Structure 1
Amino acid sequence: MIRLIAPARPVYLRVVRASAWYDLVVTAGFATPWTYALVHHALSSLGDALGLGVLPELDPIQTLYANLMGSVVVVWAVLRIVRPMAVHGLLDGFARTLFASWQAYALTHGAMRLLWLFFAVEVGFGVAQLVPWWRNQRTDPEPGRTGRAGRAGRAEEHPLGAPRQS
């Protein structure tokens, strides 16, 4: 069984929380049909003004998918702001890898080039949240141990980073 060792908590949890605040600010406008119409117009206007393209005309299905994505990301962001955990950073890093993959796909198929800005942030936060996990796996002095503090009576890491007592 592969055991994952959580990164050093204080600094890492600040990264998890910062990525959540970014998500909340950027996606809150996608959560309702009314706010999405405003965001859609703003992004299209900005893309047009910068010569980076515009979004396709609004339609009910596009709005539905934007609202679904916005709603889920807002809830996920609030969880990471209110109760950040190392495992949230791991899972968010994987989610950002998926998001960045789909953004790259869209960019290679003609999406507005303003998307590159969002792609860069996804990759940046993804790397910031996944690399510490990878480093911890490579530097664990005792493979097979579930945490760095595995002495009697000290906090030990659960395989996904949730603290548990020895």
Structure 2
Amino acid sequence: MTTHLRPTDLRYLRLVRASAWYDLVVTAGFATPWTYALLHDALSALGRAWGLGTLPPLDPIQTLYANLMGSVVVVWAVLRLARPLPLHGLLDGTARALFTGWQAYALTQGAPRFLWLFLAVEATFAVLQLAPWYSPFRRPAVRE
């Protein structure tokens, strides 16, 4: 008996929802200039305390891009919570794979090392959401 997850399984939709909850919790602080300023300071303090580096000083463009990312991800997370679909898992997994690459690139360019924590979660959700879509992991349809 094979236990591979299929995109149509209820467990897969629970995974789509779990990734949405993670996004909502982690990115809500990026969605406004005021919450981002607080989050920026908290992440820098954490990075400094753990010896993992700090974020660059706040500037208006950095804040704008953080707010853009936070706003889009919060809306995307709410959609996946309200109406999780297999297609949402495929698209989210694809976006996470891309974002994992951008995080890896940022780390090679001197980004604070605490980014590794976020990269690990992104990569994990990417693999879990994309794997069921690839044929070696998919069960053949049963014909009746």
TM-score (norm 1): 0.80
Task: Summarize deviations over 1:101-152 as a string: whole Å, max 9, x none.
Answer: 0000000110000000000000000001001111xx23454xxxxxx3676x
Partners in 1 of 2:37 and 2:15 — Cα distance?
Answer: 31
Aligned letter for 1:71?
S
The question of 1:81 aligning with 2:81 is answered yes
Instruction: Tell me how far apart the structure 2 counterparts of residues 91 and 149 of structure 1 sit (CA, whole Å).
Output: 26
Letter in 2 for 1:89: G
Q: CA deviation at 1:12?
A: 0.3
Relative to its length, the structure with more helix (as a share) is 2
What are the ranges of 5 or more consecutive residues in structure 2 without an aligned counterpart? 1-5
Q: Which residue of 1 aligns with 2:3?
A: none
Letter in 1 for 2:30: F
Q: Which runs of 5+ in 1 are unaligned?
A: 1-5, 142-147, 152-166
Letter in 1 for 2:15: V
Give the Cα–Cα distance (whole angstroms) in 2 for the partners of residues 150 and 116 of structure 1: 45
Q: What's the offset of the Cα at 1:9?
A: 2.0
Q: Equivalent residue of 1:22, what SS?
A: helix
Q: Distance in 1 between matches of 2:61 and 2:107?
A: 20
Partners of 1:24 and 1:140 in 2: how far apart? 32
Hey, what does 1:53 align to over in structure 2? Answer: 53
Identify the residue that residue 130 of structure 2 maps to in structure 1.
130
Whole-angstrom distance in 1 between the partners of 2:48 and 2:143? 57
Superposition RMSD in Å: 1.3
**Structure 1 vs Structure 2: percent identity of aligned residues?**
71
What SS class does the counterpart of residue 125 from structure 2 fall into?
Answer: helix
User: Which residue is 1:17 aligned to?
Assistant: 17
The structure that has the greater radius of gyration is: 1
| TM-score normalised by length of structure 2 | 0.91
Report matched runs for 1:135-154 at 5 Å: 137-138=135-136, 139=138, 141=140, 148=141
Instruction: Pick closer, same or farther for the CA change 1:150–1:35 going to 2, 3 Å.
Output: farther
Q: Partners of 1:62 and 1:35 in 2: how far apart?
A: 13
Amino acid of the structure 2 residue aligned with 1:70: G
How many positions carry a matched residue from both structures? 138
SS of aligned partner of 2:29: helix
What letter is aligned with 2:27? Answer: T
Question: 1:64 aligned to 2:81?
Answer: no
Partners of 2:53 and 2:143 in 1: CA distance:
54
CA distance in 1 between partners of 2:131 and 2:54 (Å) = 34
Matched residue type, 2:124: G
